[in-house]
């Protein structure tokens, strides 16, 4: 069969665990379908158990969970928030939206995480928080980052969109900063189409978060019987998902171990089978420090240069395999320049790796024969100099 007649292999495909439809049906029968119904509490408690956080509030997205952190920390004009340039724009948007300034810090060349050695130099009197992203679910060096935050009285937020199931020195990612955010977008390990959560390790802001998430009302307290009527008592918006989505999410979270095992099998196959090919051509495979356990969120390769990255993408595309690049740096993006500030002399490592990185298809339902096709497709590429 020619490559053209073979079905295309996408980068990501929704993996259904089998109970989603049944749970959504049950949600429809039992109601209510608005937020904070029975499936929302089930999904929240499953999530709390996986991460070991003290509480979890489901949100409509990770973006909205990040927005909530900016409101809870009362960030606004005159404040600065330190974060990596190599991340999704939502990590920065949340703070720019409140008038605070995202301060972009370069990444480590090995893990592509915010370089903890550059953080302290970026701290000013205006700095209020550090937001970290565990890229590909490989942990940032949290002991160093938490110590810097403690010295300067800063909040730490983990944008844990990639990190569900990952660990740092035995501790679950998402359980280390005061607050952490999760994404259940369809490209993440556990998903419900669009969804997210805000996790609390330090419960200081929990009560206020429940109010802000419910349009600024104490409706949550009303339903618990703690107050006899609910009123508008704070600023807020609508950050809670329908119980229909929470039903889908519950099904996925219950199958967490199975989903993770399937993703790990794909990740490990790539890493083993591509090792010699990569090493012989100075192509870099993901670096997982021995103090990390990664959750098989992404499998990426760093090609020697932009030209080879583009050629490998093209080569795979001709074989019907979709392998995309990833983040375009934020520090020199139009909105990054307008709303943010770059620490030190730019982010040269971020600029460099963003040009050279390619991600291979990785999802729980990737068939063995498709995995073989991807591996053989990659192995048939030769770096040009």
Ligand X SMILES: *Cc1c(COP(=O)(O)O)cnc(C)c1O
| Residue with Cβ nearer ligand X (114 or 274) | 114
| For ligand X, the closer CB: 68 or 101 | 68
Q: At what angle do helices 62-72 and 206-213 cross, to 10 degrees?
A: 120
Q: How far is the CB of 1 from ligand X (least distance, A)?
A: 35
Phi, psi of 118 (to 5 degrees): -100, -5
Question: Smallest distance, Å, CB 232 to ligand X?
Answer: 26
Q: CA–CA separation, 80 vs 341, rounded Å?
A: 9
Per annotation, catalytic residue among 8, 128, 167, 188? 188
When the beta carbons of 197 and 247 are compared against ligand X, the nearer one is: 197
Tokens of 222: 């009303």
Closer residue to ligand X, CB minimum distance, 96 or 278: 96
What residues contact 373, with CB distance under 8 A and at least 6 apart? 6, 9, 319, 320, 321
Q: Which residues of 315-344 are buried (b: 16+ CB within 10 A; e: fewer)?
A: bbeebbbbbebbbebbbbbeebeebbebbe
User: Does residue 194 sit in helix, strand or coil?
Assistant: coil
**Cα 124 to Cα 71, 128, 129, distances in angstroms:** 21, 9, 11
Is 188 labeled as catalytic in the residue annotation?
A: yes
- Contact between 243 and 38 (Cβ < 8 Å): yes
Interacting residue ranges for ligand X, rule: CB under 6 A: 61-63, 87-88, 90-91, 133, 159, 161-162, 183, 185, 196
| Residue matched to tokens 């993408």 | 313
Q: How far is the CB of 377 from ligand X (least distance, A)?
A: 25
Minimal distance in Å, beta carbon 59 to ligand X?
A: 8
Q: Considering the complex, what minimum distance in angstroms separates the CB of residue 67 from ligand X?
A: 9
Cβ distance to ligand X smaller for residue 91 or 218: 91
Q: Which residues are marked as active site?
A: 188
């Amino acid at each position: 069969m020619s490559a053209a007649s073979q079905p295309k292999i996408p980068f990501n495909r929704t993996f259904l665990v089998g109970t989603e439809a049944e749970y959504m049906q049950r949600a429809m029968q039992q109601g209510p379908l608005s937020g904070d119904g029975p499936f929302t509490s089930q999904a929240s408690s499953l999530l709390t158990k996986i991460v070991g956080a003290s509480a979890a509030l489901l949100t409509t997205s990770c973006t909205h969970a990040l927005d909530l952190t900016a409101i809870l920390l009362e960030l606004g004009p005159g404040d600065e928030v330190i974060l990596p340039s190599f991340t999704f724009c939502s990590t920065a948007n949340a703070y720019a939206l409140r008038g605070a300034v995202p301060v972009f810090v370069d990444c480590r060349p090995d893990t592509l995480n915010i370089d903890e050695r550059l953080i302290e130099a970026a701290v000013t009197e205006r700095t209020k928080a550090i937001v970290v992203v565990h890229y590909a679910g490989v942990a940032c060096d949290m002991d160093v980052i938490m110590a810097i935050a403690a010295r300067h009285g800063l909040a730490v937020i983990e944008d844990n969109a990639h990190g569900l199931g990952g660990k740092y020195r035995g501790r679950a990612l998402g359980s280390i900063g005061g607050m952490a955010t999760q994404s259940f977008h369809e490209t993440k390990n556990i998903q419900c189409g669009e969804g997210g959560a805000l996790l609390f390790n330090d419960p200081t802001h929990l009560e206020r978060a429940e109010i802000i998430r419910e349009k600024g009302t104490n409706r949550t307290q009303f339903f618990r019987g703690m107050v006899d009527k609910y009123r508008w008592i704070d600023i807020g918006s609508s950050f809670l998902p329908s119980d229909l989505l929470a039903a889908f999410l519950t099904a996925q979270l219950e199958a967490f171990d199975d989903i993770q095992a399937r993703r790990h099998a794909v990740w490990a196959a790539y890493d083993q089978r591509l090792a010699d090919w990569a090493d012989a051509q100075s192509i870099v495979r993901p670096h997982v420090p021995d103090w990390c356990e990664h959750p098989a969120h992404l499998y990426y390769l760093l090609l020697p240069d932009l030209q080879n990255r583009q050629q490998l993408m093209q080569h795979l595309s001709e074989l019907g395999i979709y392998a995309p690049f990833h983040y375009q740096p934020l520090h020199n993006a139009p909105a990054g320049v307008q709303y943010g500030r770059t620490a030190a002399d730019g982010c040269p490592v971020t600029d460099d790796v963003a040009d050279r990185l390619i991600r291979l298809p990785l999802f729980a339902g990737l068939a063995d024969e498709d995995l073989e096709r991807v591996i053989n497709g990659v192995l048939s590429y030769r770096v040009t100099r």
